[in-house]
């Protein structure tokens, strides 16, 4: 093997090893169907709004997918604000469709993520979907609006 080939091979190996931490910090893109365990069939379209009936959650204890526990992920969805100021939101529910938990009954608990941002984050428009990046946990949460299957410590938000 020629010396130049050995040097090229060695440099390639070094660069690959150096790139690993950067790749490890990239969030995994997750979609709502990924949060539903195989065999659990609850990805129905949102129910029709009925302001005459109760807004009980249909599946408050739906199973979660454990492989996402403590993983850095990026997931799209709509915001249902819970805590914050006019400028910054510190706590919200991320849901798969607009109006969930407000105009229609909450979706299954494995289709809701309780997100917290310690310092708060600006949410421009509740009508627009956003990407939320953070560390996901399969630890549930119960609030006045819904039971939640996942929690997230938020890192950033971006337009969808």
Mean pLDDT over 12-17 rounds to 50
Predicted confidence (pLDDT) at residue 152 exceeds the cutoff of 50: yes
What pLDDT, in 10s, does the model give residues 25-53? 899 999 999 999 998 865 555 555 554 54
Whether 16 maps to a domain, the answer reads: no
Whether 75 maps to a domain, the answer reads: yes
Predicted confidence (pLDDT) at residue 19 exceeds the cutoff of 50: no
SS3 sequence of 70-127? CEEEEEEEEEEEEEECCCCEEEEEEECCCCECCCECCCCHHHCEEEEEEEEECCCCCC
What pLDDT, in 10s, does the model give residues 95-150? 999 988 877 889 999 999 999 999 999 999 999 999 999 999 999 999 888 999 99
DSSP 8-state symbol, 145: S
Whether 153 maps to a domain, the answer reads: yes
What is the pTM for the complete model shown? 0.77
Q: How far apart are CA 23 and CA 158, in angstroms?
A: 20
Whether 15 maps to a domain, the answer reads: no
Q: Looking at the chain, how many residues does it have?
A: 160
Q: In the chain, how many domains are there?
A: 1
75: containing domain: 27-32+60-159
User: Encoding tokens for residue 15?
Assistant: 């660069």
pLDDT band at 11 (very low <50, low <70, confident <90, very high): very low
Measured in whole angstroms, the distance separating CA 19 from the mean position of its chain's CA atoms is 26
Whether 1 maps to a domain, the answer reads: no
The pLDDT assigned to 52 comes to: 52
Whether 89 maps to a domain, the answer reads: yes
CATH number of the domain where residue 75 is located: 2.40.50.870
Whether 74 maps to a domain, the answer reads: yes
The pLDDT assigned to 51 comes to: 47
Q: How far apart are CA 8 and CA 11, in angstroms?
A: 5
The pLDDT assigned to 20 comes to: 47
Query: Which residues share a beta bridge with 55?
Result: none
Whether 44 maps to a domain, the answer reads: no
What pLDDT, in 10s, does the model give residues 46-101? 555 554 545 577 788 899 999 999 999 999 999 999 999 999 999 999 999 998 88
């Amino acid at each position: 093997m020629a010396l130049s080939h050995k040097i090229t091979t060695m440099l390639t190996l070094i660069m690959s090893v150096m790139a690993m931490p950067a790749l490890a910090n990239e969030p995994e893109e997750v979609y709502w169907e990924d949060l539903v365990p195989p065999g659990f069939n609850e990805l129905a379209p949102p129910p029709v709004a009925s302001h005459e009936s109760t807004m009980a959650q249909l599946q408050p204890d739906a199973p979660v997918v454990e492989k996402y526990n403590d993983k850095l992920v990026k997931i799209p969805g709509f915001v249902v604000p819970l805590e914050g100021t006019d400028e910054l939101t510190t706590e919200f529910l991320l849901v798969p469709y607009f109006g969930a938990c407000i105009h229609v009954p909450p979706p299954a608990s494995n289709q809701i993520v309780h997100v917290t941002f310690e310092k708060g984050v600006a949410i421009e428009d509740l009508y627009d979907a956003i990407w939320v990046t953070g560390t996901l946990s399969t630890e549930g949460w119960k609030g006045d609006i819904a039971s939640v299957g996942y929690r997230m410590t938020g890192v950033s938000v971006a337009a969808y």
